[in-house]
C-alpha cells in the first residue's frame, strides 16, 4: 500500500490565496471495482455535501483525470442498528445515491478492521439493510447479502403483473430477454453466448433508459460455463461498465438458479474482468453469501475549493 496526495483543481486556487479544504480518503478496490472511502463518522458537513448531487463533490472525487478516480464513493458513518459496528452510504460516480454494493461492502469491512473498529465477525448497516461479515483470510471477506426479491414492484420493473423467470421487452424494434431481481438495488440479467462479444456499451444503457426500469437498472451480461462457473460483465447505473459488481454477481447467480442453469446452493464461481467472486445462494432460505477480496491501494488527501 502506498501513500499519495491527489491534487484537485483547488490546489492552484489555494496557492493563489483562495480557501481550500483537504479531504482525506482511502483508495480501495475489490476485484477491480474501485472506491474512494471517506470517514464521515464525525463530519456531518461532508456527508451533506456528498448527498447533494448538485454540489459536484462525488463527480470531482470520481474523476479519473482531475480527481482520485473511482466507480463509487463510500462514506462510513456511525451504526444505525443495534449490534452493527458501523454504517455506510454509497454514491455513484455521477453523484446519485446507491442502495447496495457488494464489493464496496467488503472494502468498508476491511477499512473498519484496519481501523480497529471491527474484528473477525461483525455486522454492517448499508442503505438496504444490515449485513453479517466474516473475515475469510488472505484479504478476503464474506458478506451476507440478504435475500433477492423477484417481485416486479420491488425491483422496480414496470409493465409486469407477476414474477417471471424471463421477461421480454421491445427496444427500438428488437426483443430483449432478461431475468430481473432486486438485491436492494435493481438488476437485469441477460444471458449471452460469449461475454467478450456482449453489447454491454449499447444494450446496457438502452435497458437503463427503458421505461421498464423507472429507477434505471444495473445490467449484467452472463455466460454460463458450467453449473458452478459463470462469466459476467456489468453495466452499472451511474457508473457505466465496471471491472466487477458484487451485487451484480449475486443477482446473476440468483436469476440463473431460478432458471435452472446453475446450482447456487452448491456455490458458483463468478469470473469478472477484475477478478473472481464466490457466490452461494440457498433458494430455500433466500440467503446469498458473497466471498471476495478487498484491498487498499493508497491513502491520500484531495484539495477541494470550499463550496466547489
Q: Would residue 250 show up in a list of annotated catalytic residues for this protein? A: no
DSSP the chain: -EE--B--THHHHHHTT--EEEEEEEEEEETTEEEEEEE-TT-HHHHHHHT-GGG-HHHHHH-TTTS---SEEEEEE--SSTT-SEEEEEEETTS-EES--HHHHHHHHHHHHHHTS--SEEEEEETTEEEEEEEEETTEEEEE----B--GGGTT-TT-SS--S-EEEEETTEEEEEEEEESSSEEEEEE-S-GGG--HHHHHHHHHHSTT-TT--EEEEEEEEETTEEEEEEEETTTEEES--HHHHHHHHHHHHHTTSS-GGG-EEEEETTEEEEEEE-TTT--EEEEEE-EEEEEEEEEEETT-
How many Å apart are CA 298 and CA 69, to the nearest integer?
12
92 is in an annotated binding site: yes
Give the CA-trace dihedral at 174, 177, 181, 184, to 10 degrees.
-30
63 annotated ligand binder: no
| Angle, in degrees to the nearest 10, between helices 102-115 and 246-258 | 130
Instruction: Give the Cα separation of 58 and 51 in Å (integer).
Output: 9
- The whole-angstrom separation of Cα 69 and Cα 24 is 14
Q: Residues 101, 107, 235, 250: which is the catalytic one?
A: 101
Of 58, 70, 107, 245, the active-site residue reads 245
Q: Is 54 annotated as a binding residue?
A: no
End-to-end Cα distance, the chain: 29
Has 52 been labeled as part of a binding site? no
Cell numbers at residue 296, please? 487498499
- 70 among known catalytic residues: no
Q: Is 102 annotated as a binding residue?
A: yes
Q: Which residues does the annotation place in the binding site for substrate?
A: 33, 72, 92, 102-103, 185, 218, 236-237, 246-247
**Residue numbers annotated as active site:** 101, 245
Residue numbering of the annotated binding site:
33, 72, 92, 102-103, 185, 218, 236-237, 246-247
Amino acid at each position: 500500500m502506498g501513500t499519495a496526495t491527489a491534487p484537485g483543481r483547488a490546489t492552484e486556487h489555494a496557492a493563489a490565496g483562495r480557501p481550500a479544504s483537504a479531504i482525506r480518503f482511502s483508495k480501495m478496490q475489490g476485484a477491480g471495482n474501485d472506491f474512494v472511502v471517506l470517514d464521515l463518522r464525525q463530519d456531518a458537513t461532508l456527508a451533506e455535501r456528498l448527498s447533494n448531487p448538485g454540489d459536484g463533490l462525488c463527480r470531482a472525487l470520481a474523476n479519473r483525470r482531475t480527481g482520485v478516480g473511482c466507480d463509487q464513493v463510500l462514506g462510513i458513518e456511525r451504526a444505525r442498528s443495534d449490534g452493527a459496528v458501523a454504517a455506510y452510504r454509497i454514491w455513484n460516480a455521477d453523484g446519485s445515491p446507491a442502495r447496495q454494493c457488494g464489493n464496496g461492502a467488503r472494502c468498508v469491512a476491511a477499512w473498519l478492521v484496519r481501523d480497529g473498529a471491527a474484528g473477525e465477525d461483525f455486522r454492517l448497516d448499508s442503505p438496504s439493510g444490515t449485513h453479517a461479515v466474516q473475515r475469510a483470510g488472505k484479504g478476503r471477506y464474506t458478506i451476507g447479502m440478504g435475500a433477492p426479491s423477484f417481485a416486479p414492484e420491488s425491483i422496480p420493473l414496470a409493465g409486469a403483473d407477476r414474477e417471471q423467470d424471463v421477461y421480454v421487452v421491445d427496444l427500438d424494434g428488437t426483443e430483449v430477454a432478461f431475468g430481473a431481481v432486486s438485491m436492494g438495488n435493481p438488476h437485469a440479467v441477460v444471458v449471452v453466448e460469449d461475454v467478450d462479444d456482449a453489447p454491454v456499451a449499447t444494450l446496457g444503457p438502452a435497458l437503463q433508459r427503458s421505461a421498464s426500469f423507472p429507477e434505471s437498472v444495473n445490467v449484467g451480461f452472463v455466460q454460463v460455463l458450467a453449473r458452478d462457473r459463470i462469466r459476467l460483465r456489468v453495466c452499472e447505473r451511474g457508473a457505466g461498465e465496471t471491472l466487477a459488481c458484487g451485487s451484480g454477481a449475486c443477482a446473476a447467480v440468483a436469476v440463473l438458479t431460478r432458471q435452472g442453469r446453475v446450482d447456487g446452493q452448491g456455490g458458483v464461481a463468478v469470473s469478472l474482468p477484475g477478478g473472481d467472486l464466490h457466490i452461494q445462494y440457498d433458494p430455500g432460505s433466500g440467503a446469498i453469501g458473497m466471498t471476495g477480496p478487498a484491498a487498499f491501494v493508497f491513502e491520500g488527501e484531495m484539495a477541494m475549493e470550499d463550496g466547489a
